[in-house]
Structure 1
Amino acid sequence: MMLIRPPGVYRPQADTRLLVDALNEADVPRRSRVLDICTGTGVVAIQSARARVASVTAVDISRSAVAAAWLNSRLRGLDIELILGDFRKVLHGRSFDVIVTNPPYVPTAVEGPPRGIARCWDAGHDGRSAIDALCRLAPQLLSSTGMLLMVHSAMCGTDTTLTRLRQVGLKTAVVARTSIPFGPVLRRRADWLLARHLIHTGQQHEELVVIRADRP
């Protein structure tokens, strides 16, 4: 899919494809209200809208990402609601039947909020700052029959995500996996990740997972 992607906006890659495949296999009902958190170029929101669901809402903290998602959706004649802001703050009082998300999940040694393009992937020392927020918010954002699909690296703790979603009352499972070579960011951080026991000696690949959480 050809997409407009301004500087500073996440480039769709293996994690995006894995999430889209999981969404397609989920057989989303057409009446669904879909929310795409951390939409980036809007590619997952676009795939959702093409399924002729009831509505699609996409949110991102980056102005460039929201602009890109708006252009990419409108060029395809798709009506997607775009929201600029932190998903932790801008969705209160709303609920959705399907939530899809490719959040930042790369561990970083940098203190404080990430800046620039690093906002697309940096997520605290354990890579879980966005993931844990999503786990906490999921019960508030999901409808009574809602479903969440989240992709992230196993480096962040697959079992931790499963546990935290179960703790808030959701039924969870890993529905997709793939292994990919380290990209430039992880290669640069390999020594630091090894020192924190987030990877093992000689590791050059990371496992990506898609976790599904449903109302029981």
Structure 2
Amino acid sequence: MTTAAAVRLPGMDHVLTLPGVYTPQYDTYLLAEALRREAVGAGTDVLDVGTGSGALALYAARLGARVTATDITRRAVLTARLNALLAGRHIAVHRGDLLEPVRGRSYDIVLSNPPYVPTPPGSPPRNGAARSWDAGPDGRAFVDRICDTAPSLLRPDGVLLLVHSALCGTEATLKRLADAGLWATVTDRAFVPFGPVIRSRLSWLRSRGLLDTNDEQEELVVVRAEHI
């Protein structure tokens, strides 16, 4: 189990990000490290949900996989397609809400780095970079949907790899996946300094009991799930 900040893997720093598109960060690298340990190669079908810049999709393609990616924003889809073109990799990038563009298909590996930051009450962002992290008052607006839907996309022996902050509830994710018929466990943890988004809402997070006054780092986790 990884317990330190994730190490950047070869080829993941050379991606472009258009304004408003999530730039690869600790969570991206932590999920890539988890993917590296899977048996990915020629013939492996990988789905990257909420691909953003396409960094994880590109990493899967470099491992030899056939890769499909989805994202709801036009800029992210354009960015992922541009990065695939620049890298000389074929990645099928579809625009749509989470798993909707690939409904009815199945994959060997489904991976996702969805929005997961608990967000003060108010209307969800319709555009801009905040769509990459704001995820409702409990941070689970997208994580729960992935937990509920991903099992139907996994082939026998297929694997879901999901990264999120412990602020939105690691045990809640494990239970939800178990209720969906998957065996789930935390395979990676990383403690990273608070970024600007967390710092901007520290008072609110502490008022909800999600952070203590002495906390100075955020815990990231990768949850691995497969059919029982």
TM-score (norm 1): 0.96
Unpaired runs of 5+ in structure 1?
A: none
The residue that corresponds to 2:19 in the other structure is 7
Deviation track 1:86-123 (CA, whole Å, cap 9, x = no partner) reads 01432211111101110000011142322321100000
Asked if 1:128 is matched to 2:140, the reply is yes
The residue that corresponds to 2:94 in the other structure is 83
The residue that corresponds to 1:199 in the other structure is 211
Q: Does the 8 A contact of 1:88 with 1:133 survive in 2?
A: no
Greater shift, 122-131 or 80-89, is seen at: 80-89
Measured in 2, the distance between the counterparts of 1:7 and 1:125 equals: 25
Measured in 2, the distance between the counterparts of 1:51 and 1:45 equals: 10
Q: Does the 8 A contact of 1:99 with 1:147 survive in 2?
A: yes
Corresponding letter in the other structure for 1:156: C
The residue that corresponds to 1:167 in the other structure is 179
Corresponding letter in the other structure for 2:79: A
Measured in 2, the distance between the counterparts of 1:188 and 1:202 equals: 16
Asked if 1:109 is matched to 2:114, the reply is no
Unpaired runs of 5+ in structure 2?
A: 1-12
Asked if 1:214 is matched to 2:220, the reply is no
Measured in 2, the distance between the counterparts of 1:201 and 1:106 equals: 18
Secondary structure at the counterpart of residue 201 of structure 2: helix
The residue that corresponds to 1:50 in the other structure is 62
Corresponding letter in the other structure for 1:100: L
The residue that corresponds to 2:192 in the other structure is 180
How many corresponding residue pairs? 215
Query: 1:199 deviation in Å?
Result: 0.9
The residue that corresponds to 2:82 in the other structure is 71
Q: Does the 8 A contact of 2:70 with 2:99 survive in 1?
A: no
Q: Does the 8 A contact of 2:40 with 2:64 survive in 1?
A: no
The residue that corresponds to 2:4 in the other structure is none
Secondary structure at the counterpart of residue 46 of structure 1: helix
Identity of aligned residues (%): 49
Deviation track 1:61-85 (CA, whole Å, cap 9, x = no partner) reads 1111111100101111111000011
Asked if 1:37 is matched to 2:41, the reply is no
Alignment equivalent of 1:59, drawn from 55, 70, 74: 70
Query: 1:200 deviation in Å?
Result: 1.2
The residue that corresponds to 1:100 in the other structure is 111
Measured in 2, the distance between the counterparts of 1:63 and 1:118 equals: 15
Secondary structure at the counterpart of residue 75 of structure 1: helix
Secondary structure at the counterpart of residue 87 of structure 2: coil
Q: Does the 8 A contact of 2:46 with 2:109 survive in 1?
A: yes
Secondary structure at the counterpart of residue 19 of structure 1: helix
Query: 1:6 deviation in Å?
Result: 0.5
TM-score (norm 2): 0.91
Measured in 1, the distance between the counterparts of 2:39 and 2:103 equals: 27
Greater shift, 113-122 or 35-44, is seen at: 113-122
